[in-house]
Amino acid sequence: MTPLSDLAAFPFADWDGSPAAARELQTQLARQVRLEDDYPPLRHLAGVDVGFEEGGAITRAAAVLLDADTLEPLAECVARIPTSMPYVPGLLSFRELPALLQALAGLPQEPDLIFVDGHGIAHPRGLGIAAHLGVVSGLPTIGVAKKILTGHHAELAEARGARVELLNRLGEQIGWVLRSKDRVRPLIISPGNRVSLERAPELVMACVRRHRLPELTRLADRLASRRDARRDQPSLF
C-alpha cells in the first residue's frame, strides 16, 4: 500500500487537470471500488472533512482519530494547502483530496475505517470523495453526506434509525437515507470502499451519540470549519 504522505503529493496519477479527464478517471476508478466488508478489527476510526479559508484560496482539511470502542478523541491533524482547482459539480474530490490525504498522513496511527464528510458511491459516476479516497489509499471508507447529490428514495419514517434505500435512475441501490435522530434531517450514507451497502448504516449509527452527525464527521467538521475558534473570538459588537 502506498504511504498516505506519498499519495498526498501525487494523488491523481497522470490526470491532465481538465474536467473531462477527471470524469473519465472517476469512471475508471469506480470500477475498483469494493463493496464487501473487508476491514480489520476496529480499534481506531478516523473522520475527515474539508473547509476553505481566504475566500477559497486555501484548502483546510481536518482529520480526527478516535478510539473505536469509546469514541474518545486520540489525535487530530489539520492540513492547509493552496486550492488548486475551482469548484466543479461532481468533481469535489479533485479539489479536496490532496489536502485530505495530507491531514490523514499527519495522524499518528493509520485508521481501520474512515468516515468521510461526503459521498461514497452515491455519485453520478459512482466515485464521490469517500470512494475516491478509499480506492487510492486502499483503506475502508464510508461516505456520510448531509444532502443528496444524486438518486431518489421512498418516504422516510421520523424515528431514529429509520432508513430507506437510495436508488439511481436505473433502480439500483447506491446508498441509504438514514434518520440518525428522531425528526432530524436525514443523512445520506454510502460505502466508499471495502464496506458493504448493508453494513454501512449500522457502522454509522454505532457512532451517533447526542448529535445528528456521527462523532467522527462531527468533530472533523468542527475542526475543518474552525467553528470552535470562531466561537472563542471576542465579539466586535
Quote the CA–CA distance of 176 and 29 in Å, as a whole number. 22
Asked if residue 179 belongs to a domain, the reply is yes
Asked if residue 19 belongs to a domain, the reply is no
* Region 121-147 average pLDDT: 97
Asked if residue 230 belongs to a domain, the reply is no
CATH number at residue 203: 3.30.2170.10
Asked if residue 33 belongs to a domain, the reply is no
Asked if residue 31 belongs to a domain, the reply is no
Number of domains into which the chain is organized: 1
What pTM was estimated for this model as a whole?
Answer: 0.92
Of the candidates 49, 101, 108, the one whose C-alpha atom is nearest the C-alpha of residue 74 is 108
The response to whether 117 counts as a known ligand-binding position is yes
- Provide the phi-psi class of 151: left if phi over 0, else alpha when psi is between -120 and 50, else beta: left
pLDDT band at 231 (very low <50, low <70, confident <90, very high): very low
The response to whether 37 counts as a known ligand-binding position is no
Q: From residue 17, give the alpha-carbon distance in Å to each of 23, 46, 91, 101.
A: 11, 29, 11, 18
The pLDDT tens digits of the residues spanning 48-102 come to 999 999 999 999 999 999 999 999 999 999 999 999 888 899 999 999 999 999 9
Task: Provide the grid cell at 11.
Answer: 494523488
Note down the domain range covering 45: 4-9+39-225
Contacts of 110 (CB under 8 A, 6+ apart): 4, 44, 139
From the DSSP assignment, how many helices (H) and strands (E) are in the chain?
7, 8
Between CA 175 and CA 70, with CA 143 as vertex, the angle to 5 degrees is: 115
Asked if residue 61 belongs to a domain, the reply is yes
The strands making up 163-167's β-sheet, listed across from edge to edge, are: 73-82, 58-67, 44-53, 113-116, 141-145, 187-193, 173-178, 163-167
Please, what is the end-to-end C-alpha distance for the chain in angstroms? 52
pLDDT band at 236 (very low <50, low <70, confident <90, very high): very low
The whole-number pLDDT of residue 16 equals: 82
Asked if residue 18 belongs to a domain, the reply is no
Asked if residue 66 belongs to a domain, the reply is yes
